[in-house]
Structure 1
């Protein structure tokens, strides 16, 4: 092996919705400053929502498939407090999305193919002190309707 080159065996955590995989973590020691790069695959129609973080920022990208991404601002001192925004991301609209801490986020897979999300965070997941707070996908305060509407 060439000096300095490193490999890492990736572990998939699978369930009936798809899988989750940590691709790179700051404690891997590969980069001087970094949080975590992760990948997750979800099957058609799956809704993964909502959750937020108090210390973690996210950057989302969907390289495969398409998703409806929903954000809801929980930051009381923000000018957009309690606003909800929808983004359509994926193969048909390849964008990266920065999600600040204390903004609830989730997504629904669109179409008939699985969607893969790659996301970068400014800190690694710590199972002993998870910075992850859940809100039901159908929370009445957020009031988002996940159904597809035809005009």
Structure 2
């Protein structure tokens, strides 16, 4: 087992990496980190001693005074080095740097100088430092007006605000799950390299207007009309999963349109511009199904007969969202990624639920991780 700690664990990148490593529990033991460690010397020293690998992500990205950014980020690196020197700890350190190292701003300079300080420590201590030059990162749960333009646009569109493009430049992007995989590969690598600077390849290059147009279409088709878009393109699926993470939780459940006549009733369950797999289940009263989460799959639960309670909880948080559905008024709830979810028959008759998911089940790559809501 490799013991891995992540500074900045509660931030956007740190939280995603922490959760990603949680899916690798057969080889990774996560060492919890709290930002208070940077104000409590003994706690930081205990942390560095406990880790085989430290992924140093903690940093300030934005501030009205750029000097504060520089001073904060370089000080965090200094504290980490001091803790290692005082305890004699020599964990492999994976440093989250940025392509902005090459730019003339104090954020980029803070990353460059922090990297060089870590490299000097590694040379003296016979330790290993892998520095990653990371392009623009996007993904679910990013902080609007802080982490990325994608986060800002997603927030605005889901809160009835009008996004504006100030500079329609080309943005080189990597999805947070892809970045987490890159970092994971460096965590488990057994090469003997002591100091290495690696440029992380971007996986998509888009104009800002292209990104906004896709998000506007998600709003018009999915939020306003319940139509799942074409998810065959990897970037667009990642962008869609990012977009849906900003939809307010009171958006669900969504009631279907029920057409009735003397023959009975007709309900359209799903309209999608993408392939997928449909299935249904019957559940006896009192039984709960699910209690798992996905990291990439788009999934819909539609209750068409009986009564049910659907519960959702974001991984590593405590708040539970609950939705009561009744087949007398057929409705659906879509499952966001990184939310463990379940469905319970709360009635006294059989529950019938229709499930749709955007990819057929693959036992070799199920993307299904069990955790009780």
TM-score by length of 2: 0.26
Preserved contact between residue 61 and residue 90 of structure 1 (Cα < 8 Å): no
Aligned length: 102
Paired with 1:33 and 1:59, the residues of 2 have a C-alpha distance of 13
Paired with 1:72 and 1:33, the residues of 2 have a C-alpha distance of 27
1:109 lines up with 2:345 in the alignment: yes
Preserved contact between residue 71 and residue 103 of structure 1 (Cα < 8 Å): yes
After TM superposition, give the deviation of residue 83 of structure 1 in Å. 2.5
Paired with 1:110 and 1:32, the residues of 2 have a C-alpha distance of 33
In structure 2, the gaps of 5 or more residues are 1-271
**1:102-142 alpha-carbon deviations (Å, 9 max, x no partner):** 11100110121110110111111101221111113xxxxx5
Q: Equivalent residues in 2 for 1:65-76 (5 A)?
A: 65-74=306-315
In structure 1, the gaps of 5 or more residues are 1-30, 137-141, 143-151
Q: Which has the higher contact order (CA 8 A, sep 6+)?
A: 1
1:99 lines up with 2:338 in the alignment: no
- Bigger fraction of residues in strand: 1
Give runs of ≥4 in structure 1 deviating > 2 Å.
none
1:36 lines up with 2:277 in the alignment: yes
* Paired position in structure 2 for 1:123: 359
* Paired position in structure 2 for 1:61: 302
Preserved contact between residue 52 and residue 105 of structure 1 (Cα < 8 Å): yes
Preserved contact between residue 304 and residue 331 of structure 2 (Cα < 8 Å): no
C-alpha RMSD of the superposition: 2.0
TM-score by length of 1: 0.61
